[in-house]
Structure 1
Amino acid sequence: MKKQIQSIGVLTSGGDAPGMNAAIRAVVRAGAYYNLKVFGIYEGYQGLIENNIKELDARSVKNILNRGGTILKSSRSEEFRTEAGRKKAHQNLQQYNIDALVIIGGDGSFTGGHIFSQEFDLPIIGIPGTIDNDLYGTDYTLGFDTATNVVIDCIDKIRDTAESHNRLFFVEVMGRDSGFIALRSALASGALDVVLPEEDSPMQDLFNELEKGEANQKTNKLVVVAEGNKMGDTFWIADQVRDKYPHLESKVTILGHLQRGGSPSCLDRVLASQLGVAAIEGLLEGKSKVMAGLIDNKIVFTSFEEAINKKIPLNKELLRISKILSI
């Protein structure tokens, strides 16, 4: 039997991603459109436990569409991992008569939401907010497009110095388990090579690419390295190259949290708006324990279990094209 929903809570959890604010805005305004009360839960699951909850209306979310980060703040909560913590969180929801939740975050956030929904029969829909683009059930996650654009902008600047001084730069990007940012930014920047978590490449493969680049008189000496690659730490990789090719002046740049910040791209703003409305409408239709996503420009709902546990394969075609064009 479909549960009657009159009030909805929305929170952001885990690492921040550009587009989260646009998603919050969409959830709040779609809720207002359907005559629902919407409550913002500040600082993620920890805020839910600490009763950091405030009602929002359409005007509460003005002028946030273009802002990076999250106005609701985010945190990681060890207490929410406990049964007692989740019980306290549910009691706070009952205090505000909140009937359902929209969770904006990644796999860890959805894991917590899935357990919470099962324990208290609470309808929950997730919106994928992570720059890694590593959730099954959507072509893109919020923040991925913006993050890759930030990486490209940084690499374009680094290239100026690399070419001016004939230096080799290793640029480390985020991607502990996923090489999506690394691969796409390597292709878009014309990098000499890319080192990915999904590829168990030996050091000799990198040496081969460097030698091929020199033989072809390639001036763009840039290698993009995903932080979670299997080859090794980026500084260690650079040291191996220095030892073998002393004539190459090798430098390392770690972009780090630069990739998380900044105003969201048009793609991320539109995606966030689509998924925010879809989450509200999905809850009203009786959906729960699912993630709203976009595949082939169509809204789809994927179970939390699939979104979390199914792995997205690396786009081998992009890797192949990158190798062809790096000559």
Structure 2
Amino acid sequence: MKRIGVLTSGGDSPGMNAAIRAVVRKAIYHNLEVYGIFQGYAGLINGNIQKLELGSVGDIIHRGGTMLYTARCEEFKTKEGQAKGIEQLKRFGIEGLVVIGGDGSYRGAKALTEHGFPCVGVPGTIDNDIPGTDLTIGFDTAINTVIDAIDRIRDTATSHDRTFIIEVMGRDAGDIALWTGLAGGAETILIPEENYDMKEIVDRLKRGQERGKKHSIIIVAEGVCSGVDFAKQLKETANLDTRVSVLGHIQRGGSPTAADRVLASRLGARAVELLLDGKGGRSVGIESNELVDYDIIEILSKPHKVNLDMYRLSKELSI
């Protein structure tokens, strides 16, 4: 293999730039040429492809977002769109591709793999919802951003004796809500993987009030419902007045943490090693701090699992 490509797709996540940097510099170290594909699969279809040098990825390891930009592309979900993408890869002489992104990005890599084109998926998403890895690139930064917000909101909740509902991202996965709720001392955490009992939540809030607790934090994962909708439910059930904060896209931005920079560097470099070894159709990850790789088609057939032991612990600690 003499020439590889790299793209980022779907939602951006802090650490993507560090992963791009690792792919480019690892490849050049092994005498490979590297081509950056801009705007994800849409850029692939349109031939928005440029050669990257060592200097192209200088001074980006600390930056959030992605220097290759990203886009969602409905056309690439079709066989015709995939054929256009493969034609562009052939036109530029690209023999292997590193795809950095989440579930949708992996599905694009899976399609290319099924067409016989060597791809390696690198998990880059704040949602932490890719099977075959303990952590995804951007998750650590996102939860630290949320924790900072929780700490600030708690100051106001304490000052005004109020219950605050904080809605966090995560799509259909509850990892952001669970980790930040546990770390932030939330009284209640709602995740899509577990049903919630409104009576139990109200009883817990009342027990806290009876022992003199005048403020509470409730973390709601967007995959359960909106923070506004849950506030309405609380109002109807217990006539409880609340305030809602929707953190939104601030969770995706910002300079990546050291943990995300290291994770991205390790996974990006490992992806290049797999392509050099002639191993396409793989997904890289980290388990128990060891690098692993799995068949990308197999990975996409597995459901994401949240750590329910952590969920039970959060309930025990919020009595």
Q: TM-score, normalised by structure 2?
A: 0.97
1:107 aligns to 2:71 (yes or no)? no
Q: Is the 8 A contact 1:294 1:300 kept in 2?
A: yes
Using the alignment, how far apart are the partners of 1:148 and 1:217 within structure 2? 30
1:165 aligns to 2:160 (yes or no)? yes
Offset from partner CA, 1:277-303 (integer Å, 9 cap, x none):
100001111211111101111110011
1:234 aligns to 2:234 (yes or no)? no
Moved more, 265-274 or 315-324: 315-324
Percent of paired sites with the same residue? 50
- Distance apart, 1:216 and its partner CA: 3.0
1:8 aligns to 2:4 (yes or no)? yes
What amino acid maps onto 1:130 in structure 2?
Answer: T
Q: Is the 8 A contact 1:192 1:213 kept in 2?
A: no
Offset from partner CA, 1:123-160 (integer Å, 9 cap, x none):
11010001110111111000100000000001111111
Using the alignment, how far apart are the partners of 2:304 and 2:114 within structure 1? 26
Q: Is the 8 A contact 2:12 2:125 kept in 1?
A: yes
Using the alignment, how far apart are the partners of 2:166 and 2:27 within structure 1? 42
Q: Is the 8 A contact 2:19 2:264 kept in 1?
A: yes
Change (3 A) 1:60 1:8: same
What amino acid maps onto 2:192 in structure 1?
Answer: P
From 206, 217, 222, the counterpart of 2:217: 222
1:272 aligns to 2:264 (yes or no)? yes
What amino acid maps onto 1:236 in structure 2?
Answer: D
Give the ranges of 4+ consecutive aligned residues of structure 1 lying more than 3 Å apart after TM superposition: 243-246
Change (3 A) 1:313 1:212: farther
Q: Which residue number corresponds to residue 263 of structure 1?
A: 255
Using the alignment, how far apart are the partners of 2:17 and 2:283 within structure 1? 18
Q: TM-score, normalised by structure 1?
A: 0.95
Structure 2 counterparts to residues 51-200 of structure 1, below 5 A: 51-119=47-115, 121-200=116-195
Equivalent position SS for 1:251:
strand
Offset from partner CA, 1:102-122 (integer Å, 9 cap, x none):
000111111111111221x21
1:37 aligns to 2:33 (yes or no)? yes
Using the alignment, how far apart are the partners of 1:204 and 1:79 within structure 2? 46
Using the alignment, how far apart are the partners of 1:306 and 1:134 within structure 2? 15
Offset from partner CA, 1:255-312 (integer Å, 9 cap, x none):
0111000000111000000001100001111211111101111110011123222123
